[in-house]
């Protein structure tokens, strides 16, 4: 029998859209709202055509007292080389992409062995099938709803069927992974993703530009 999976919605503001000269301030603003997650995008200028943060960014946030759940999204061609560094720096979840060629199963097992939650991420052009072999080894599937590399892009509605596929696979396989959407998420696109089966919402631009962040967060909690 298939049981519905109804995970509570989680809003994960993306530090990429915060103030890069005051990352601790941006992180504190998230924590002050009573939110518990912060999405941290790591880019290598190779897997994606941009650069962002490194392990030291997470370590510095921890030194400043952040207790947020650091949802770390590695957009790296060789993520397997950096798992220890991010775990040591304070990552709570490490999500790695399915597209580059490396031993994904070994990397996911290593993430868990390091005491972190594991996520698998899929780009817009990557079918759900590519992540299917790893669903038993993850706590979260990250569905990119823009081409990764930059904040502020438009939500790709064409990703909704892929979200539904991961939701169907979750039900049929008896899995309990979260389904996270990342890119162009605001309240309207989040509602569409929620209806398709998503439960975890990365919001960069829409969160940091929101005038009333508390109302924004409440709206997501009620999705
Ligand atoms: C894009 C990153 C996203 C980004 C989302 O490559 O993975 O996490 O911060 O930014 P917005 O919400 O502005 O689309
Ligand atoms: Zn991201």
Residue 114 near residue 89, CB atoms below 8 Å:
no
* Mutation to probe ligand 1, out of 18, 151, 152, 220 (largest number of atoms < 8 A from CB): 151
129 is known as an active-site residue: no
Out of 41, 71, 92, 199, the active site residue is 41
Residue 56 half-sphere exposure, CB side, CA atoms within 13 Å? 1
Identify the pLDDT of residue 5: 56
Structure tokens at 106: 């070994």
Distances (CA, A) of 159 to 102, 144, 189, 198, 205: 25, 8, 11, 11, 19
The CA 144 to ligand 1 mean position distance, Å, reads 9
Which ligand has the nearest atom to the CA of 49? 1
Question: Distance from the CA of 204 to the center of ligand 2, in angstroms?
Answer: 9
- Paired strand residues for 218: none
Dump pLDDT digits (tens) for 81-125.
999 999 999 999 999 999 999 999 999 999 999 999 999 999 999
Residue 2 confidence (pLDDT): 46
pLDDT tens, 129-146? 999 999 999 999 999 999
Instruction: Give phi and psi for 180, each to the nearest 5.
Output: -105, 140
pLDDT more than 90, % of the chain: 97
pLDDT of residue 110: 98
Query: By the 8 A CB rule, do 151 and 184 touch?
Result: no
Residue 194 has pLDDT above 80, yes or no: yes
Q: Which residues contact 39 (CB under 8 A, 6 or more apart)?
A: 12, 13, 14, 15, 16, 71, 73, 182, 202, 204
Contact call for residues 38 and 68 (beta carbons, < 8 A):
yes
Give 142-163 pLDDT, tens digit per residue. Answer: 999 999 999 999 999 999 999 9
Whether 3 has a pLDDT exceeding 90, the answer reads no
């Amino acid at each position: 029998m298939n049981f519905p999976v109804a995970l509570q919605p989680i809003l994960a503001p993306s530090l990429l859209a915060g103030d890069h000269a005051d990352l601790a301030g941006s992180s504190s603003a998230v924590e002050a709202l009573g939110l518990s997650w912060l999405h941290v995008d790591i880019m290598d200028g190779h897997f994606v055509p941009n650069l962002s943060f490194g392990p030291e960014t997470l370590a510095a946030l921890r030194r400043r007292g952040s207790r947020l759940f650091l949802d770390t999204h590695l957009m790296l061609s060789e993520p397997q080389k950096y798992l220890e560094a991010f775990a040591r720096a304070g990552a709570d979840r490490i999500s790695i992409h399915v597209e580059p060629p490396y031993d994904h199963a070994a990397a996911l097992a290593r993430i868990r062995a390091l005491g972190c939650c594991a996520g698998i991420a899929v780009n817009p052009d990557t079918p759900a099938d590519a992540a299917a072999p790893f669903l038993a080894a993850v706590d979260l599937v990250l569905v990119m709803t823009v081409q990764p590399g930059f904040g502020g892009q438009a939500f790709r509605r064409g990703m909704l069927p892929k979200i539904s596929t991961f939701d169907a696979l979750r039900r049929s396989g008896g899995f309990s992974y979260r389904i996270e959407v990342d890119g162009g998420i605001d309240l309207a696109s989040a509602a569409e993703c929620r209806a398709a089966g998503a439960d975890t919402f990365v919001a960069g631009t829409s969160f940091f530009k929101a005038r009333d962040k508390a109302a924004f967060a409440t709206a997501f909690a009620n999705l």
